[in-house]
Chain A
Amino acid sequence: MSEMGKKATYNIPIGPIHPSLKEPILFTFRMNGEVIEEADFAPGKAHRGIEWMGMRRNPVQIVHLTDRICGICGVSHTLAFARAVEQIVGIEVPERAHYVRTIIAEFERIQSHLLWAGVAAHELGFETLFHLAWRVREESMDVIEYLTGNRVNYGIVQVGGVRRDFTEDQFPRIERALHYYEDVAGKLLNLYLNDKTVSLRCRDAGTMSYEDALRLCTVGPTARASGLNMDVRQDSPYAAYGDIDVQAILPEPYMGETRGDVYDRIVVRLYEVVQSVGIIRQCLDQMPPGEVLWEKKYPRLLAACKKASGEAVGRVEAPRGECLHYLRMDHMDHPQTWKVKASTYSNQMAWLGMLKGEQIADIPIIVASIDPCMSCTDRVAVIGDEGGYVLTKEDLHRLSVEKTRRLMQ
C-alpha cells in the first residue's frame, strides 16, 4: 500500500479535435492511479473567427451566418441575433412570427435533448437505448424538415420575423408528431430513470453543488440539475413564451431531491422534452393570424438597420442553456461589435469540479453530461513514466462499458 501512495501522478490529454463544436477541446487530466486529481481544458482548437467575419457583414448576411454556428441549435443563435437587431432598430415583430419562432425552437429542443440522451446511453454502453433514442428523435427531425425544408440550418428566422409561415394544412402533421412523443415519453422515462444500469453509472457521478452552479455562471439543464432555478423562457419571456405557462424544470419535484449529478441532468432533459410537447400544443391553439415578417424587402430592412445605432442583448434559451448575443450598431452596414456567447461557453468551467475525484472510465459520461454537442473524447494519450501509450476513443468507450459490466455483476 505504501508503494501505491508513492506512485507518481501522470497526465492524460484528451482531444483536441472535435468537428461539431465551436470550441473543440483539449483536456488534460492529472491522474493518480485511476482517480482524476485535477482536470484542465483548452478550447479553441478550430476557432473559426465567426465574430470577426460578422463584423464585416450586414445583419441579413449575419442571420445566415448564425444559422451555421451550430448544427444542432441553429435556430437559437439566429433568434438571439435577430432579437438583438430588433431591439436596436425598434422592429415590432408580427405576433404570428413569435409563435412560429417558438414552435421551431421547441422542436429543436426535442431533437437536441433526444440526441443527447442517445449519446449518453452510448457512452454507458447501453446500445439498444441509444438506438431507441435516436429513432425517436427522427420524428422531430422529420417535422423540422417538413416545416422549414431542412434538417439542419433551417434558415427560417429573419430579422423582423420569420421567412416561412406555418399553414393550417401543416398542423395535422405537427399534431401527429406531438401524439407520437406523448405516447413514447412514458417508455423513455421508464427506460432511462428506472433502469439499474443507468442509475448505477449516473447517480452521484460528476456532481455539482448549487453554490458551484451559481458561482461558475452555469446555464441550462446543467445548472437546473443542480437546483438552480434559471430558464430564459421563464425569467425573461421572449417570443411567445410570455403567453404560455413555462416553468423551469428542476429535478426535485420529480425525484424528491436534488443531487446535481449526471442522473439529475438526464431527469431535467427528459422532462423538458415532455414540456416542449406541451408548449408546442399551446402555441398551435393560440396562434394568431397575420403577417410573419416586418419587412419583406431586404433593401428596406437593411436601410432601417443602417439608420439605427445603439446596443442590445439578445438572449434565448437554447437546448443547452442561455445563448447570448451582444450587438452594438453605429450607422454602418455592419455591426460595430458582435459577441456570441454559446451555452457551452458558460458550462465549461463546471467540468473542472465535476471531473475531480472521478475515474477514467467516467470521463465520457461526465464530459457528455453538460451536452457539449457530443462527447469530446476523440483520442486519449496517457503519458506515464514508461514512455506513454495512446488510448483511442474506442478504448475509452470500452473502459466505460467494462465499468458498467463490472457494476452489473
Chain B
Amino acid sequence: MTRTAIPTEEVAAIFKKEFGDGISDIEVREWCEGSKKTPIHTLWMHIDRSLLLKAVSCLIEIDYPHLGVISGCDTGDDIDLVYNMMIFFGIRGREINVTFVVTLPKSDLSVPTISGLIPGAVYTEREKIEMLGIDVTDIPDRRGLFLPADFPKGVYPWRKDETGIQEGHVKELWAVGRPENRPAPPVKPKEKKEADPVEARTPEKDVPAPEEVKKDE
C-alpha cells in the first residue's frame, strides 16, 4: 500500500473547491522546533454542521485519518466541537494535523455521529455527550464514560453556563472532615504504652531556644 503525501496547501485547496462557502476561516499553520527547525503542519477550518460527514468522507478519500480526539469548548451562546485528525502519518515530516471546528448553537446541540466512517470515534463522542450535553445522533452507544452513576442529571462539567458545575457541587477537601461511623477495625486497638522516660523528658533543657543560637553566631 503506497500513500503519497501532498502539501498542506493542496489539501486546503481540495476542501475549498469541494465545499466552497460551507467552510470558513481555513488556515494553514506551521510550527518549527529543534535546531533544524523541522516544520509541523496543521490545517484549521470551520465547517458547517450539515457538511461534517461529507468533510470527513472527503478527508478519508485523501488519506484515512487517525482521529486524535474531539474536544469541546463552551463559548457562551455556542459550543465548538473540535475534531483533531491526522493524515499522512508514517511519512516522515509530512503528517498534517487537520482540525475541523463545528459550531453548534446551544438551542440545538445535535451533531451527526462520525462513527460510521471512523468506528473509533464512538469513545470520544460518548465523552462529549456526558461532558457537554451534545446530542450525537445515530451513535451506536450513548452510555456515559467517566462520570459516576450518581452524578446529577442535566449537569455538564465542561459547560460554563447554568448547566455547568455550580458552587454548591464543589466540596473543599479540607472541609470534608474525617469519615464517621466507620466499622471497627478487625484488629484490637493497641494498648497504650506507659510513658517512655526519654519522651517524657522536657526538650527545653536540652535544645537551646532559637534566639540563643542566633546570639552564639
Contacts and interface: CB of A to CB of B under 8 A. Distances in A.
Interface in B61-82: 64, 66-69, 71-75, 82
A33 interface: no
Interface in B88-123: 88-95, 97, 99, 118-123
Interface in B151-182: 157-158, 165
A315 B84 CA distance: 11
A44 interface: yes
B82 to A, nearest CB: 6
A315 B33 CA distance: 13
Contact of A339 (B69, B99, B121): B69
Contacts, number: 140
A179 to B, nearest CB: 26
Interface stretch (A109-117, A209-217, A263-271, A297-305): A209-217
Given A235-B95, A243-B38, A313-B97, A336 B89 contact: no
Contacts of A229: 89-90
B35 A243 contact: yes
Interface residues of B, number: 50
B121 to A, nearest CB: 7
Nearest to A224: B90
Contacts of B146: 23, 43-44, 47
B147 interface: yes
A154 interface: no
Contacts of A149: none
Contact of B158 (A52, A247, A326, A346): A52
B73 A322 contact: no
Interface residues of A, number: 52
A237 B121 contact: no
A326 B82 contact: yes
A85 B110 CA distance: 31
B185 interface: no
B71 to A, nearest CB: 4
A394 B129 CA distance: 37
Contacts of A236: 40-41, 86, 93, 95, 97
A337 B160 CA distance: 10
Contacts of B57: none
Of the listed residues A23, A52, A237, the one surrounded by the most CB atoms of chain B closer than 10 A to its CB is A237
Given A44-B146, A216-B119, A236-B95, A315 B35 contact: no
A98 B33 CA distance: 8
Interface string A316-341: 00000010101010000000110101
Interface of B: 31, 33-38, 40-42, 44, 64, 66-69, 71-75, 82, 84, 86, 88-95, 97, 99, 118-124, 143-148, 157-158, 165
A17 B14 CA distance: 48
A345 interface: yes
A376 B71 CA distance: 27
B33 A242 contact: yes
A242 B158 contact: no
Contacts of A341: 68-69, 124
A93 B146 CA distance: 35
B34 A235 contact: no
A228 B158 CA distance: 33
Given A328-B73, A341-B69, 19 more contacts: A43-B145, A49-B157, A52-B158, A52-B165, A95-B34, A214-B64, A217-B66, A217-B68, A229-B90, A237-B40, A237-B92, A239-B33, A288-B35, A313-B42, A313-B97, A326-B84, A336-B73, A345-B69, A349-B119
Q: 10 tightest A-B contacts by CB?
A: A242-B38, A44-B146, A217-B120, A229-B90, A235-B95, A339-B71, A341-B69, A337-B73, A242-B34, A216-B120
A324 B84 contact: yes
A286 B118 CA distance: 41
Nearest to B99: A313
B92 A234 contact: yes
30 contacts: A43-B145, A43-B146, A44-B144, A44-B145, A45-B148, A47-B146, A51-B158, A52-B157, A93-B33, A98-B33, A98-B34, A216-B119, A229-B90, A230-B90, A235-B86, A235-B90, A235-B91, A236-B40, A236-B93, A238-B40, A241-B34, A242-B37, A311-B82, A313-B42, A313-B84, A337-B73, A337-B158, A339-B82, A345-B69, A346-B120
B34 A239 contact: yes
Contacts of A95: 34-35
A87 interface: yes
Contacts of B143: 42
Contacts of B67: 217
A23 to B, nearest CB: 7
Interface in A196-215: 214-215
A207 B34 CA distance: 37
B123 A349 contact: yes
Contacts of B66: 214, 217, 219, 230
